[in-house]
Amino acid sequence: MNISPGFHPRATGGLLLVVGILLIAACLRTPITSVAPIVSHIRQSFALSTAAAGALTTLPLLAFALAGYRAGVICRAGGNDCRCAAARR
pLDDT, position 12: 67
Mean pLDDT of 35-58: 88
pLDDT, position 16: 81
pLDDT, position 47: 92
What's the mean pLDDT when you consider all of the chain? 75
Distance, CA of 36 to CA of 77 (rounded, Å): 36
Does position 86 have pLDDT exceeding 70, yes or no? Answer: no
Mean pLDDT of 14-42: 81
Mean pLDDT of 70-79: 70
Could you give the C-alpha distances from 21 to 24, 47, 49, 64, 71, in angstroms and in order? 5, 37, 36, 14, 13
pLDDT, position 14: 72
Does position 55 have pLDDT exceeding 80, yes or no? Answer: yes
pLDDT, position 44: 92
Burial (Cβ within 10 Å: 0-12, 13-18, ≥19) of residue 39: middle
